[in-house]
Chain A
Amino acid sequence: MRITAAEVAALSLSIKVALLSLIVTFPLGLLVGWLLAKRTFPGKAFLNTLVMLPLVLPPIVSGYLLLILLGKHGFIGRFIYQTFGIEIVFSELAVVIAVSVISFPLLVRGIVTGMEAVPVELENAARTLGASPIKVFFTITLPMAHRGIIGGTILGFSKSLGEFGATIMVAGNIPGKTQTMALAIFSAVHLGEDVSVYRLVFISTLVAFAAIWLTERFTLR
């Protein structure tokens, strides 16, 4: 009944990818969230739509679009391949990109909700007290929006942990290389490895439960 090496690899890949994705998307999410919550500019509705699109699209479709963009003949993929000699698709990097795109709307949604709740009057008050816009962001907006930011981060992180559709399109399902938890479960079900399925499903459920519970703790009061 011991957990197998392949299962450990899938679990650790999921965690590693989710963490890497968080490191990349968090600063970007703060910037985009701040723009959407606090600024008015031309193209705001378009930016919002673009960011939120993966939340509504079937992940398979998002994954397919990424595959087109990032493949060796894709718009971005060709450029990267010719410049750096790196092939993005069917690599760990592809997994990170896939889960980042899919989890980004959840992260941004939480950040926007948190920042929208910070009254602009308080930010203006800070400005009159001599604070630059950057200082206002770090001393007023960010700390006051912390519940929404933490909530969005946890939701986004757990979405990354369990992402399936986009990952399998862009990164495939290569055990030990691009096979995450969700993909390992998919394979185990197909192969009829029931015990493995039970273990992985149990671990996934535990992680999801903990994520939602933590979110509730930080966002509700």
Chain B
Amino acid sequence: MADGTKIRLDFRKRLGSFTLEVNCTLEAKVSAFLGPSGSGKSTLLNCISGTLAPDDGEIAFGEEVLYASASKINLPPEKRRFGYVFQEGYLFPHLTVAQNIRYGQPKPRKSSAAIDVLEISEFLQRYPRELSGGQRQRVAIARALAMEPRMLLMDEPLASLDSALKERIIPYLHHVKDTFDIPILYITHAFSEAMALADEAFLIANGTIIANGEPHRLLTAPAAMPIAQLTGVENTLFLPVTASDKARGLILLEIGDQALVIPYTDIGIGEIVPVAVRAEDIIISLEPDLSISARNILKGTIQYLDIKSEYTWLSILIDWHHLAVKITHAARKQLQLQEGSEVYCVIKASAINLLWD
């Protein structure tokens, strides 16, 4: 993005015992803030939109300072021209869809790219209560775009929709991203959405940014310990679906030249899905031929071994994916594990969780 649309965030906001503290620059076309609920994502967005004043610091859009505690600048929300899409939509219930769209339009006009892109022209005359959840959210996005914003802020726009509906809205978001030449700040707790849309992701937990980078790399990085803190799950992998067997209740994912078996859900072949495994749910074996119920016995190499006071942590490389595994010191000694050892990771299919929500 051009320098004029860089967003510089450097501020603090205290709410009770919680403190949000950010210091970062958003330069990508779509930046995602990824974190669990209560991590401060919405507070962050409210500070950027101007509906909430930070305690101190600075917020700037390109050269323009929107908030600066030092020089007592705090531009009101109506002067910031940031389109805001709320999780709950917040359409005005007493206005029709058309009136909602017109509300923020700088000049009244009949046609609007927002109406076309979101495909809402059929229900312009209806009231919000007459729309389905997905339609409402499309109208909310169109309303934010119709005001001709210089940036789009989206606060979990898909969180209140069920997964089937989410799948249908995501293409619209892609269409918005391609049609409108403005930066987008997207807030979500869903890995899949950040993966699908963002060019850069920021992991946020307890009010602090703990990592940032290109979403795919960020989430598959070997030392993705931030992910562990976020979810309590040490391993997150993004793997393509290679086969789906409803009769046996299984799905096969590709991990290098091996297959990872997980319980069946309705996912198309070829899709890349995020899966999570806890470090303590993985058993290490030196032998591949085990008569056990676990469906996954994956060959890998111990890349490094980290001996902590209570447990030994292993980082096992399978193709280019890393798995963090937690074992006891006794197990490490008995199996004589060392860096470079070839081992088998035994994982029950049911211990692998799909990260769709």
Identify the A interface with B (CB < 8 A). Answer: 119, 121-122, 124-132, 139-140, 143-144
Q: Is A132 within 8 A of B92, CB to CB? A: no
Q: Which residues of B contact A139 (CB under 8 A)?
A: 103
Assess whether B268 is interfacial by the CB under 8 Å rule. no
Assess whether B263 is interfacial by the CB under 8 Å rule. no
Q: Is B51 within 8 A of A131, CB to CB? A: no
Q: Which residues of B contact A126 (CB under 8 A)?
A: 92, 103
Q: B residues 308-341 with Cβ under 8 Å of A? A: none
Select the stretch in B5-13, B77-85, B188-196, B251-259 that faces chain A. B77-85
Alpha-carbon distance between A173 and B104 when the two chains are bound, in angstroms: 56
Q: Is B93 within 8 A of A129, CB to CB? A: no
Assess whether B49 is interfacial by the CB under 8 Å rule. yes
Q: Please, which residue of chain B has its CB at the minimum distance from the CB of A119?
A: B90
Alpha-carbon distance between A122 and B88 when the two chains are bound, in angstroms: 10
Alpha-carbon distance between A131 and B95 when the two chains are bound, in angstroms: 15
Contact status of A129 and B94, CB under 8 A, knowing A121-B88, A124-B77: no
Contact of A131 among B78, B82, B93 (CB under 8 A): B78
Assess whether B143 is interfacial by the CB under 8 Å rule. yes
Q: Is B81 within 8 A of A130, CB to CB? A: yes
Q: Is A144 within 8 A of B93, CB to CB? A: yes
Q: B residues 36-77 with Cβ under 8 Å of A? A: 46, 49-51, 76-77
Q: Please, which residue of chain A has its CB at the minimum distance from the CB of B140?
A: A125
Q: Is A127 within 8 A of B92, CB to CB? A: no
Given contacts A122-B90, A128-B78, A130-B81, 5 further A-B contacts (CB under 8 A): A124-B46, A124-B51, A125-B84, A128-B77, A128-B83
Q: Is A140 within 8 A of B77, CB to CB? A: no
Contact status of A132 and B78, CB under 8 A, knowing A126-B103, A127-B51, A139-B103: yes
Q: Which residues of A contact B106 (CB under 8 A)?
A: 130
Q: Is B78 within 8 A of A130, CB to CB? A: yes
In the A-B complex, the 9 residue pairs with the smallest Cβ-Cβ separation, listed nearest first, are: A129-B104, A127-B77, A128-B84, A125-B90, A124-B51, A130-B78, A128-B77, A130-B104, A143-B94
Sampled A-B contacts (23; CB under 8 Å): A119-B90, A122-B92, A124-B51, A125-B84, A125-B86, A127-B77, A127-B78, A128-B49, A128-B51, A128-B77, A128-B78, A128-B80, A128-B104, A128-B144, A129-B78, A129-B104, A129-B144, A129-B147, A130-B81, A130-B106, A130-B147, A132-B78, A140-B92
Identify the B interface with A (CB < 8 A). Answer: 46, 49-51, 76-78, 80-84, 86, 88, 90, 92-94, 103-104, 106, 143-144, 147
Q: Please, which residue of chain A has its CB at the minimum distance from the CB of B51?
A: A124
Q: Which residues of B contact A125 (CB under 8 A)?
A: 84, 86, 90, 92
Q: Which residues of B contact A144 (CB under 8 A)?
A: 92-94
Q: Which residues of B contact A121 (CB under 8 A)?
A: 86, 88, 90
Alpha-carbon distance between A130 and B106 when the two chains are bound, in angstroms: 8
Q: Please, which residue of chain A has its CB at the minimum distance from the CB of B86?
A: A125
Contact status of A127 and B103, CB under 8 A, knowing A121-B88, A122-B92: no
Q: Which residues of A contact B94 (CB under 8 A)?
A: 143-144
Q: Please, which residue of chain A has its CB at the minimum distance from the CB of B94?
A: A143
- Say how far A105's CB is from chain B's closest CB, in angstroms: 27
- Say how far A61's CB is from chain B's closest CB, in angstroms: 41
- Say how far B26's CB is from chain A's closest CB, in angstroms: 18
Q: Please, which residue of chain A has its CB at the minimum distance from the CB of B52?
A: A124
Q: Please, which residue of chain B has its CB at the minimum distance from the CB of A132?
A: B78
- Say how far B266's CB is from chain A's closest CB, in angstroms: 34
Alpha-carbon distance between A124 and B82 when the two chains are bound, in angstroms: 12
